[in-house]
Chains A and B, each alone.
Chain A
Amino acid sequence: MSNLAVTKRKKPKGNFWVAVPFMLPALVGLGVFVIAPGIRGVILSFANYNVFTGQADFTGFANYIRMFQDVRFLNSFLVTMEYVLINIGIQTVVALFIAVLLHRFTRSHIIKGIVLLPYLISNVIVAMVWYWLMDYNLGLINSILDALSLHKFTFFSEQTAMPSIALINVWRHMGYTSLLIFAGMQAIPKDVYEAAAIDGASEWRIFRSVTLPLLRPVLAFVLVITVTGSFQIFDTIAVTTKGGPVMSTDTFSIWIAREAWGNNDFGYASAISVFLMVLLSVIAFAQTKIMSANQSDLDR
């Protein structure tokens, strides 16, 4: 994997004090703006907290017990998982495909720019535009289907809303993700491909046996980022389906926001947040472990 793991030279042990000034600003930022409020939030998850009056009545594990028994808990878990699987699944495949296209078929900076363009538009605007384009009655997509005498498609029914939201976000993020993968592809030396080509391997074979394995570390890193972000999906849903229809897009973040702001139940919202953080940390830990255990097949 990394030169640092592979090299057998002696490294200076215990560079702790050298590391401190490097880490200091980041640690201060982390401590003040993430850990401190985070701990406060965790403490409040054990209470009924009214953000406006500042009053906190400690109730022990009541919020957590309530959460696990809440019908919305299982619902949120399932719809969030549904979103993550569809979104990450499709997005990663598409981004890989785009990265290969950029790698093999074009050098143009303009095309790279076009591919990144969706990411430049804010989440909220993207959601609004697609919500209109996908509208059953006034959307362009359905009017085209209609003109071709095909059946119109309800993009935001109880079954289709979440996949539609997932696709909207794939559109926005596919270029961005492909750029991250593309950067990783740059590092694969040409001679590996030369060897494969000399052996007469087909395009697909090269991709499967050369590119993909060598991309694994980069892919793993990209997956940690995208999966963690995907679980926290909020903006797109908040502007379009708002958790509906019939709770089919009521993801964790939407539920947390509603409990915190709508129901003024910050303690309960904190409990749900804590659950989400633990879940994501476990997933991220598992992913990083797989990543560290992953030796590069490059072997040089």
Chain B
Amino acid sequence: MARNSENTLDDAKFRLSTPTRIFGYTALFILCVISLFPIYWMLRTSLSTTRLLFENPTSLLPSHFTFGGFERVLGMATEKQAIAEGGSGASINFGQAFLNSIIVSTVITVCQVSFSAAAAYAFSVLKWRGRDAVFFIFVVALTVPGIFLLIPNFLFIRDLGLLNTLPGIMLPQVLMSPFAIFFLRQFFLGTNLSIVEAAIIDGANHFKIFWRIVAPLAMPQIVTLGILQFIASWNDYLWPFYVGSGDPSSTVLTVALGVFKAQTPQGSPDWAGLMAGALIAAIPMVLLMIFFGRRIVGSIQASGVK
């Protein structure tokens, strides 16, 4: 069981032939360019003056360079400055929206992943009658269109009096996610049962086994899942809009950045502000990846996933 060594087959035994090597590195290069170019385009647009953006719509450089987009996002531009650049003159409370997003996404991720891991344990390591049937109900939950649930859940949150509150936004997602359960069950199924058996003989109960043995073994997958769920929650728009947009204290970042979208049916969005907002909004997730990145694909036991 090799720990902390990535399985990347770069031992001497697996020296690649030169044509294959050239092919591989070229492919990697093209991949990086394709992945990065639209993001560069976002950067170039965010540093442009919105009003003059289409003077040179295909230029690779910003059109009339300005930090205006970023200033509008961070609430540092006056209305006059904003309108002069063709940007949205509406105000945005960036700090609060950012904080709200952090709170919502963190709470959802931590709670949802924990509870989903527990449920995944029940569907994999534990064996009981009807287990697969109950699990399949969760799989069916994956197939329910979001719009179908939106209105009934909205009315439910309203009846609970939790409209325009952060708990109201978090509630439907904080307890579980069918994807999370499915994902973790998949990896828990690969657990070496002999360890579990040994622990039971030693008198451990299942909670201890879950907490101290099975979950730590799947930590890379749990961390990966956590990051993916954080990203999904961070970028969620429709539900937080309906539940929280009525009050600044419950407005999350994606909703707050809505001021940069088109104001009239035929108008254009405030491109510079919108792109600046999107790039700034991506920063926490980039940081997350940097901090946890090593753990995502680091030490996976050979007996881990099959």
A and B are partners in one complex rather than unrelated chains: yes
* Interface positions of A (Cβ within 8 A of B): 1-4, 7, 9, 11-16, 18-23, 25-30, 32-38, 40-41, 51, 97-98, 101, 103-107, 109, 111-126, 128-130, 132-133, 138-140, 143, 171, 175-176, 179, 182-190, 193-194, 197, 203, 214, 217-218, 221, 224-225, 228, 231-232, 234, 252-253, 256-257, 260, 266, 269-270, 273, 276-277, 280-281, 284-285, 288, 296, 298
| A22 touching B193 in the complex, CB below 8 Å, given contacts A33-B149, A260-B147 | no
Judging by beta carbons under 8 Å apart, are A12 and B139 in contact?
no
The number of inter-chain residue pairs (CB within 8 angstroms) is 310
B:155-210 near A, CB below 8 Å:
156, 171-172, 174-176, 178-179, 181-183, 186, 189-194, 197, 200, 205-207, 210
List 19 A-B pairs, Cβ < 8 Å: A4-B191, A7-B193, A25-B119, A25-B176, A29-B175, A41-B148, A98-B31, A114-B32, A115-B32, A116-B289, A118-B38, A140-B58, A187-B190, A203-B16, A203-B17, A224-B182, A232-B145, A280-B142, A298-B306
Contact, CB under 8 Å: A129 / B41: yes
- The distance in angstroms between the C-alpha atoms of A256 and B144, with both chains bound, is 12
A129 touches B153 (CB 8 A): no
Neighbour of B231 across the interface among A113, A119, A218, CB < 8 A: A119
Q: Within the assembled complex, what's the spacing in Å between the Cα atoms of A13 and B31? A: 50
Contacts of B190 in A (CB 8 A): 2-3, 187
Q: With contacts A9-B193, A133-B38 known, is A29 near B115, CB below 8 A?
A: yes
Q: Are A121 and B278 in contact (CB under 8 A)?
A: yes
CB distance from A210 to the nearest CB of B (A): 11
Number of residues on chain B facing chain A (CB within 8 A): 114
B246 within 8 Å of A (CB atoms):
no
* Contact residues in A for B207 (Cβ distance below 8 Å): 21
Main secondary structure on B side of the interface with A: helix
Measured CB to CB, the closest approach of chain A to B49, in angstroms, equals: 16
